Structure 1
């Protein structure tokens, strides 16, 4: 069940599962999603780990503030949440935008990080024109104007046909995203330039992705792998952007194996 806490001057929605004395793991969601995007990941972790999921600013049930946001601001939200919960060090796993937030924390708050799992993410997201096009659609049609294109980027066609119930859940999650929250967070992704920052990351790092991800590509993951010392890269075959939902067994095996190796 979601709880709410004030951190970094906003109300943040979060949920905690797993043993009270387990090593803490924060899970950070993608653009246009909420903490429910981790539902298929949770069972692989909660026997051992204290899992803290949260809704990023402007998403789910967390507070929407006027945009644009920055990745630095979204990272400060997560660190403030951590502090408000009295947690000094944690493992961080994030997918897409969540992975961008985790990169920033790894580089700028090293004392707080036990490990990083950077999933289907990138350190830069050009071109700017692509984002301006999406912003124009959202301003004229609302989030509904982006749903179909987003689902096609997030999943391979055979998964869309094979798991209509999962797709419906994802569709509802996308549609629940407030327009202002989307614009604020998407601006942060658009303006991000974190490649040189990656050299500062010292924590053990897993780079995990769907090999067919068209949004944050295998090539973008190899940049992360090349620039982050002590990193390993795992690509899951026949998976696109939300590889944790599309190939949960493979994703969970890789993530759990990595966390156990660090812990």
Structure 2
């Protein structure tokens, strides 16, 4: 079973589930957990290969997004949570995109931070470069290099350092397994039409240079999706501009304690 951190709030039956990015854990959401637990029960999960969750190589089948989907549902069942709101960052958003495509009935709403919906030409070159070097370069150095390319500006430093710091806690085999799985973000959107009724808020920084253009295009094609862009912010928007991220996410989720119709975009 997945490792997790649960913070309860006796005044509500609403649950928000946080899903971190590669190399991360519940600590990357520390600025969210403090704010969200005032309004919701908060569950922060550790993906396979992170924290005390099972290793990515411990499963009988090859590691995939579907493996993670089933683990998350098993945890919800164990905790007797019939339905929840989900908040993800980076890889965590990809996981949620896959989850709602297969188990939309378990999801009230989603907040997809720093989402990766496809790999542009630069990202593909980076992955090819990483594939060539992974057997020669220490994976910590590889991750540090990718973090620098993904989050290059000085104002991205807090997000970059947080992800590099947490990635050092991963085992090499787990990092490389996720490296392979994360190479196929389009697969997480393959059956997104099945989640047509699930409200989706994408939150991206305007400086998320490898991802933002494709997120903008995707939002126009996905039902019940809207995009909030945070100015002067990079990929790890929940850390770089936590207050703005929290405001957007909490206001959005609060709408879906009871269903309401949403528009295709929102203005900031």
Common fold by TM > 0.5: yes
Report the Cα distance in structure 2 between the residues aligned to 1:219 and 1:210, rounded to whole angstroms.
11
TM-score (normalised: structure 1): 0.85
The secondary structure found in structure 1 opposite 2:116 is: coil
* Alignment of 1:31 onto 2:22: yes
* Alignment of 1:48 onto 2:39: yes
Q: How much has 1:156 moved relative to structure 2?
A: 5.0
- Could you list the runs of 4 or more consecutive aligned residues of structure 1 that deviate by over 4 angstroms after TM superposition? 126-129, 166-169
* Alignment of 1:157 onto 2:153: yes
Find 2:251's aligned residue among 249, 253, 257.
257
Q: How much has 1:70 moved relative to structure 2?
A: 1.4
Aligned equivalent of 1:204: 199
Cα distance per residue 1:33-52 (max 9 Å; x no partner): 11211111112200111111
Residues 167, 218 of structure 1: alpha-carbon distance in 2 compared, 3 angstrom cutoff: closer
Aligned length: 249
Report the Cα distance in structure 2 between the residues aligned to 1:191 and 1:219, rounded to whole angstroms.
17
Unaligned 5+ segments in structure 1 are: 1-5, 7-11
1:108-119 equivalence runs, <5 A: 108-119=102-113
Aligned equivalent of 1:14: 4
Report the Cα distance in structure 2 between the residues aligned to 1:14 and 1:73, rounded to whole angstroms.
17
Aligned equivalent of 2:55: 64
Q: How much has 1:169 moved relative to structure 2?
A: 4.4
* Alignment of 1:229 onto 2:223: yes
The secondary structure found in structure 1 opposite 2:136 is: helix
Report the Cα distance in structure 2 between the residues aligned to 1:136 and 1:58, rounded to whole angstroms.
23
Contact 2:156–2:240 (CA under 8 A) maintained in structure 1 = no
Report the Cα distance in structure 1 between the residues aligned to 2:85 and 2:156, rounded to whole angstroms.
31
The secondary structure found in structure 2 opposite 1:116 is: strand
Find 2:175's aligned residue among 176, 182, 194.
182
Contact 1:156–1:238 (CA under 8 A) maintained in structure 2 = no
Contact 1:143–1:174 (CA under 8 A) maintained in structure 2 = no
Cα distance per residue 1:83-134 (max 9 Å; x no partner): 1211110001111111111111212111101001111112333665532432
Q: How much has 1:160 moved relative to structure 2?
A: 5.2
Cα distance per residue 1:165-224 (max 9 Å; x no partner): x76544321211221111112211113433442222221110111111134x11221233
The secondary structure found in structure 1 opposite 2:203 is: strand
The secondary structure found in structure 1 opposite 2:55 is: coil
Aligned equivalent of 1:123: 117
Q: How much has 1:157 moved relative to structure 2?
A: 2.6
Report the Cα distance in structure 2 between the residues aligned to 1:151 and 1:129, rounded to whole angstroms.
15
Contact 1:70–1:192 (CA under 8 A) maintained in structure 2 = no
Aligned equivalent of 1:105: 99
Residues 169, 65 of structure 1: alpha-carbon distance in 2 compared, 3 angstrom cutoff: closer
Residues 155, 190 of structure 1: alpha-carbon distance in 2 compared, 3 angstrom cutoff: closer
Alignment RMSD (CA, Å): 2.2
Contact 2:87–2:112 (CA under 8 A) maintained in structure 1 = yes
The secondary structure found in structure 2 opposite 1:220 is: helix
